[in-house]
Amino acid sequence: MTPPRPTITPTRPLVLVVASCVTALVSALALRWWQEHGGSLPIPSWMSWAGVGLIAAGVGWTARATRRALARDPWALNPQVAVSRLVLGKTSRLAGAILLGGYGALAVMAAQAWPAPLAVTRVLHAGVTLLACAAWMATGRALERACRISRHDESDGDASTGSGDGSIN
């Protein structure tokens, strides 16, 4: 009997929702405490959403390249590279969810001072960052899916060359 192959399951949406909600709650409490002690809400700039957007674009490009490579040959990637890309996809989804919660809390708290000009700026930049976080999560999901190898492809790997080790199901 052969030992079971290692498998990594896709990131569950519930994990992402919980991470986002917990981050939103902690961020809201921290921002409220900061305001009660004389501080003001942070003012996000274009750098916040541009940075997250660039990361999402990079992850998206990696997902596309991975999907294309594996569509031609399921064993085209070194198993360590495939696992690294899978971890990048999972991390992207979780990091996007965490930032989504933090910027969501900032947007909600800033919206309370609407239509003050500074509140409008905060809500606008936080809102665009929320979209960038959602894009980051989506590209992370695409990368996770691109790394998926179907069960019938596993039998095609040749154990003598080392291909097929560390399969990702």
160 occurs within a structural domain: no
- Burial bucket for residue 14 (CB in 10 Å: 0-12, 13-18, 19+): exposed
24 occurs within a structural domain: no
122 occurs within a structural domain: yes
User: For a pLDDT cut of 90, what percent of the chain falls above it?
Assistant: 71
Tokens 């399921």 belong to 74
69 Cβ contact partners less than 8 Å away, ≥ 6 residues apart:
76, 77
pLDDT at 162 over 70: no
169 occurs within a structural domain: no
Q: What is the pLDDT of residue 151?
A: 62
Q: What is the pLDDT of residue 152?
A: 58
89 occurs within a structural domain: yes
* Cα 163 → chain centroid: 28
| Span 47-58, pLDDT tens digits | 999 999 999 999
Tokens 């095609």 belong to 156
Q: How many residues does the chain have?
A: 169
- Region of 150 (left: φ > 0; alpha: ψ -120 to 50; beta: rest) is beta
2 occurs within a structural domain: no
**How many domains is the chain built from?**
1
CA gap 12, 20 in Å, rounded:
13
Q: What is the pLDDT of residue 149?
A: 74
| Span 104-157, pLDDT tens digits | 999 999 999 888 999 999 999 999 999 999 999 999 999 999 988 766 555 444
Residue 137 domain boundaries = 49-149
20 occurs within a structural domain: no
157 occurs within a structural domain: no
Q: What is the pLDDT of residue 163?
A: 40
